[in-house]
Amino acid sequence: MSEVRERLGTALFLRVAGPDGAAHAARIHGAPGPRWFEPDSAIVRVHGDASMFVGGIRALLLQTLHPAAMRAVSEHSGFRGDMWGRLNRTSRFLATTTFGTAEDAQQSVDIVRSIHERVVGTMPDGTPYRASDPHLLRWVHVAEVDSFLRAHTLYGKEPLDQAGRDEYVAQSAEVARRLGVIDPPLTEADLAADLAAFRPELRGTPEAREAVRYLLFKPPLPLAARAPYGVLVAAAVAMMPRWTRRPLRLPWLPVSERTVVRALGGLATGTIRWAMGAGRPA
């Protein structure tokens, strides 16, 4: 079993962190210096848990609903041809800002802000968009934080209480402000209010549905990995609000989602937690 655990953990780590992930992890976790967050803080607990696999998929699904954000991804992101490279970069950013030194975390933020400044374009109606727009950054932020927090509440090893959930939202806001978000939510209640305020702007565009189809049905994975990935996708879809299902053409199976999918999602995240716990960093 130890050999199986090691092989599975190595495969998962390489998929998420990339071929140079070990070197980055060594620096993120081993470099001396002050950190933005304490080792036992809420954000460290959430971002270091296997539930992030489900939360990350849910965040991507939810983010597609904003037409301008989705247009920017469709025109400037390499998600079709470089899905895993994008995942590697995103996971590295989260790891660095959560676990890395304050100096490395700020450098990661500066790099992302520089990239955002270059992502500009035009909507089909001629309206300009820019990735550095604080309003779009706010949408990406609240969709991510809501998804990570909900996944941790359902599938985390040690779910947070109300004070812990508010702490997580407030700590996530520290990174968001550095990225350019103005007045990000500081409590779980603020987060819910922000998401509700965005609803009039959200809809299922052809670009959004294309991204969802790609994420659900065309992941660049070997055949043997499709079934476990499907479980994670099903768990993520089950956490999507009911009002998102029709615009994104997602299924709505409330009984199965509360029973079968919930059980399989718990089994999948538990297996990931077991495999990744073999002496690897969060």
pLDDT in tens, 224-279: 778 888 999 999 999 999 999 999 999 999 999 999 999 999 999 998 888 777 54
Rounded to whole angstroms, the Cα distance separating 203 from 74 reads 15
**CA 19-99-105 angle, 5° bins:** 85
Token pair belonging to 93:
């950013």
| Structural domain spans, the chain | 2-276
Compare 5 and 221 and report the one with higher pLDDT. Answer: 221
pLDDT in tens, 194-209: 999 999 999 999 999 9
Rounded to whole angstroms, the Cα distance separating 255 from 198 reads 28
pLDDT at 232: 92
Q: How confident is the model at residue 82 (pLDDT cuts 50, 70, 90)?
A: low
Report whether 16 contacts 87 (CB < 8 A).
Answer: yes
The whole-chain average pLDDT of the chain stands at 89
pLDDT at 80: 60
Over 70: is that where the pLDDT of 10 sits?
no
pLDDT in tens, 55-67: 999 999 999 999 9
pLDDT in tens, 138-189: 999 999 999 999 999 999 999 999 999 999 999 999 999 999 999 999 999 9
Q: Is 86 exposed, middle or buried (0-12, 13-18, 19+ CB in 10 A)?
A: middle
β-pair type (128-130, 120-122): antiparallel
101 φ/ψ angles, rounded to the nearest 5 degrees: -70, 160
Residue with tokens 């969060």: 282
